[in-house]
Structure formats: C-alpha cells, structure tokens
C-alpha cells in the first residue's frame, strides 16, 4: 500500500498516536519552528470540518501547543500561506 503524503501519524500531548490529515505546513522565519495545519477529518454537528494549527517536532512527530506569545505570529503566517503569499513546506 502506498503511503499518503497528506496523512501522518503524530503524538499528541499525552503521548498517544493520532492520525491527522495534513492540509499544509510552514516554518516561521526567526523561530525556525515548524507548524502544521491539519484536521482529524471529522465533522462537527454543523457539518463543519475542524481545522487545527500546531507546532510539530518532525523528528519525534510530537504535536506541541503554540505558546501564547507566538499565536499572533503563527496566525499571520497561516493567513499568508493560506492565501498563497508564501509557500514554506516542511520536508
């Protein structure tokens, strides 16, 4: 079976494996931290797909909570990537 590049198994903050669908990824200049925009591909009661952004350590595959002081910067990068202004994919 071929491995899908948009699906990845990561570790949540409790150390449990979770399978996520990666929508896109980016690295914030200055911090060199990698972030993923992803979904669990589940829908809420209103049939809306929840999309999340997390810092990720690609060596350990650990999802990390974004520190409060970095949230505004990450949101700014997310909007730029989403709108196609920058394209920084994690390798």
The Cα–Cα gap between 73 and 70 comes to 5
Read off the pLDDT band of 55 (50, 70, 90): very high
Rounded to an integer, the average pLDDT of 21-37 is: 87
Q: What pTM value is reported for the model?
A: 0.74
The Cα–Cα gap between 40 and 73 comes to 24
Could you say which DSSP state residue 69 is in? G
Q: How many Cα atoms within 13 Å fall on the side-chain side of residue 13?
A: 5
Strand-pair partners of 22 = 38
pLDDT at 51 over 70: yes
pLDDT at 62: 92
Q: What is the pLDDT of residues 65-80, one digit of tens each?
A: 999 988 998 898 888 8
Strand-pair partners of 55 = 35, 64
Domain ranges for the chain, please list them. Answer: 7-82
Read off the pLDDT band of 5 (50, 70, 90): low
């Amino acid at each position: 079976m071929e491995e899908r590049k948009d699906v990845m198994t990561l570790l949540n903050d409790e150390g449990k494996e979770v399978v996520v669908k990666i929508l896109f990824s980016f690295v914030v200049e200055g911090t060199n931290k990698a972030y993923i925009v992803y979904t669990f591909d589940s829908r809420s009661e209103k049939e809306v797909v929840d999309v999340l952004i997390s810092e990720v350590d690609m060596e350990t595959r650990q999802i990390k909570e974004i520190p409060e002081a970095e949230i505004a910067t990450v949101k700014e990068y997310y909007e730029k990537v989403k709108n196609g202004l920058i394209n920084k994919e994690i390798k």
